[in-house]
């Protein structure tokens, strides 16, 4: 689910070594007889990835494990009670050049739907996306976008108008692959894709994960 350069393009985004570790919480629970994944839309006031769809998460504080950091961030952002969460495991850390974080995804499960309350300083709204929908190939759409002067194919996971891309989609793709997901379909022919430039990107597309 990483953006793909057009054939023949060589992309150099520049060096951006990570300066801080972070953790995200991929939390699943059953609601209305469907297994759901908790996602949030970040506010426009945050320093990085503002307005984007993400997993709850943030920087790891001194003395914290990645699991503790993910649970703390989930509690701070949407009032998840850590006592109700069972940790299932870790995914592969992912370096996010635009923000300089090395992100450690933590997968977890709640026996019952959590009582969620968003923190308005960090979260604009909450999405409870059904896992079976996200695993369908039809949930993936491609856009041709111009970023930093290059034309890129960018894949998105979609659910009811929510568009999940970049680092979040890449972390989820590893988890979905473990669950048997074959991966996103290939992008359609270029003539069937609209070209979006840096200036007309959707609100959730600001920045480059």
Chain segment 169-181, per-residue pLDDT in tens? 999 999 999 999 9
Which is it for the CA torsion 110, 29, 43, 11, positive or negative? positive
Quote the DSSP letter at residue 186.
P
- Cα–Cα distance, 159 to 26 (Å, whole number): 16
Poorest-confidence range of 84-98, 134-148, 191-205?
191-205
Neighbours of 80 (CB within 10 A): 26
Q: Record the pTM.
A: 0.84
pLDDT, tens digit, for every residue of 15-42? 555 578 999 999 999 999 999 999 998 7
- Cα–Cα distance, 14 to 1 (Å, whole number): 21
**3 state SS of 62:** coil
């Amino acid at each position: 689910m990483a953006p793909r350069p057009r054939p023949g393009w060589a992309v150099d985004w520049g060096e951006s070594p990570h300066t801080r570790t972070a953790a995200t919480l991929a939390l699943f629970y059953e609601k209305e007889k469907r297994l759901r994944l908790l996602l949030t839309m970040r506010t426009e006031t945050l320093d990085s990835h503002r307005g984007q769809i993400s997993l709850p998460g943030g920087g790891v504080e001194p003395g914290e494990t990645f699991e503790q950091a993910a649970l703390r961030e989930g509690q701070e952002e949407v009032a998840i009670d850590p006592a109700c969460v069972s940790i299932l495991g870790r995914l592969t850390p992912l370096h996010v050049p635009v923000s300089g974080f090395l992100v450690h995804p933590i997968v977890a499960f709640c026996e019952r739907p959590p009582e969620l309350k968003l923190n308005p300083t960090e979260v604009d709204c909450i999405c409870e996306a059904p896992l079976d929908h996200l695993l369908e190939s039809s949930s993936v759409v491609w856009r041709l976008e111009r970023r930093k002067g290059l034309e890129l194919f960018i894949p998105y996971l979609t659910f009811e108008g929510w568009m999940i891309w970049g680092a979040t989609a890449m972390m989820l793709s590893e988890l979905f692959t473990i669950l048997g997901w074959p991966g996103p379909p290939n992008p359609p022919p270029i003539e069937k894709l609209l070209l979006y430039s840096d200036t007309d990107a959707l609100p959730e597309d600001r920045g480059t994960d």
